[in-house]
Chains A and B, each alone.
Chain A
Amino acid sequence: MPEEDLSRLHCRVGELAAERGLTLTELAERVGISLVNLSVLKNDRARAIRFTTLIALCDALGCQPGDLFEMRD
């Protein structure tokens, strides 16, 4: 899949973390991934996400997987 198509899938981890008053550093610690990888996710540069990471994100943010992602045109 071309890289430009991947950017259509936006990860709302930054928005959700801000709503809950969490910094990315705090969120990365709670999720158990590096801040670098969380940034990759936040900036829509990730190409794949592990289910373990997804579950940990949903637990840390108190949300559903569908709340984390949105498709853009």
Chain B
Amino acid sequence: MTELTMVPRDRTILSVAKAVAWVGLAFAGIYAFSGAVYPFLTGNGVPAQAFTQIPGQEAKFEGAVEIADPSLLLLASYLFSVLVAAGGQIIIMVALLRLVATARAGEAFLPGMLEALKLVGLGIVVWTVGADVLPGVTSAIAYRDMPEGFEFFATFNFAPILIVVVLGVIAALFDVGARLRRDSDGLV
């Protein structure tokens, strides 16, 4: 089956998926650009996540503090985290475009589908590093410049790990499908 022999519903789904991927790419670009120019355009400094505490209360809250006149290391750490997070998003959207291209070729179990799924997993890992891990590093670097009442804060979200594991299982299942397809190729 090729795109020419697809039913209109399938063609619509592929077109929507392609549009979603391009919108995602655009957002990743906007995210990267706006994050990169933020410290310079606003003049507020480099944002760093931090714990903050209301005086007189024990509870701590996740927040952000902007470090004015940041060191080169802090600025580099912040920019790197923004670019890595955007890079992860871009990898995921490129993988989605590859998935659409493979589906347009009319074969669901081509090796290209498997590679695209692996790319999605990689994109999620990269995005998690950029969005979760590196901001913690930035916070650690910014700690000594934080005003009174703010502390270093780092977090890690384990949901992406579960998603990557599930993607790995799906990729393994696609591998099985590809093998079944090879075995039945030419079967009448």
Contacts and interface: CB of A to CB of B under 8 A. Distances in A.
Interface residues of A, number: 12
A50 interface: yes
Q: What is the interface of chain B mostly: helix, strand, loop, or mixed?
A: loop
A50 B185 CA distance: 12
Interface residues of B, number: 5
Contacts of B184: 48
A33 B187 CA distance: 11
Nearest to B183: A48
A15 to B, nearest CB: 17
B186 interface: yes
A45 B185 CA distance: 10
Interface string A40-73: 1100011111100100000000000000000000
B54 interface: no
B188 interface: yes
Nearest to A47: B186
A53 B188 CA distance: 7
A37 interface: yes
